[in-house]
């Protein structure tokens, strides 16, 4: 975020936040320790899922507030790349909650690692256009998406390992 490469921590697959949103238990536990120590307060009667959803939302606000872009001061120092003021304000207004579609994108690796997603003929055209990027044994491009029924959508990459994470309903 501060490097200006990504605009949302949920989009950076190798961040602890994105891993926790995707439902990876070690990341959830690590994030819980950090957030509980810094931002959280106990809420009696809250389920684990409700607690995790609340902690993720609070941490998202924290990330955006602390990752806002800054211009240099009068001395020319203190500038940093980051999220724009509008994006930060929108996350604060939402209370840090991800939309259903943002949450789904984090849970389904096809959206980040599938290379191209679409109807079979579209995926074939993408494959043919980028043929040199694939091994010589590969004969066609369209691969059926495993573990998810998205009504006739195909992907260029066949994701065999943890392509879809079960929903913990961390969205509203």
Looking at per-residue confidence, does 129 or 153 come out higher?
129
pLDDT score of 21: 77
User: What per-residue string of b and e applies to 141-166 under the rule 16 or more CB within 10 Å gives b?
Assistant: bbbebeebeeeebbbbbebeeebbbe
Q: What average pLDDT does range 30-53 have in this prediction?
A: 73
Backbone angles phi, psi at 67, to 5 degrees: -110, 15
91-147 per-position pLDDT tens digit: 999 998 888 777 776 666 666 666 788 888 898 999 999 888 888 888 888 887 766
Mean pLDDT of the residues in the chain:
77
Q: What is the pTM of this model?
A: 0.58
What local confidence, expressed as pLDDT, does residue 84 receive?
84
């Amino acid at each position: 975020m501060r490097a200006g490469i990504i605009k949302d921590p949920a989009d950076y697959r190798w961040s602890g936040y994105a891993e926790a949103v995707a439902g990876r238990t070690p990341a959830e536990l690590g994030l819980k320790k950090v957030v509980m120590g810094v931002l959280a307060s106990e809420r009696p009667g809250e389920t684990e899922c409700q607690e995790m959803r609340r902690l993720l939302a609070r941490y998202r606000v924290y990330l955006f507030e602390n990752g806002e872009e800054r211009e240099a001061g009068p001395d020319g120092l203190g500038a940093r790349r980051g999220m724009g003021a509008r994006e930060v304000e929108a996350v604060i207004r939402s209370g840090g909650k991800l939309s259903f579609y943002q949450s789904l994108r984090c849970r389904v690796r096809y959206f980040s690692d599938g290379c191209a997603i679409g109807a079979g003929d579209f995926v074939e055209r993408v494959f043919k256009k980028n043929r040199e990027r694939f091994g010589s044994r590969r004969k066609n491009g369209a691969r059926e998406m495993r573990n998810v029924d998205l009504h006739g959508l195909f992907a260029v990459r066949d994701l065999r390992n943890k392509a879809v994470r079960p929903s913990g309903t961390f969205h509203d």
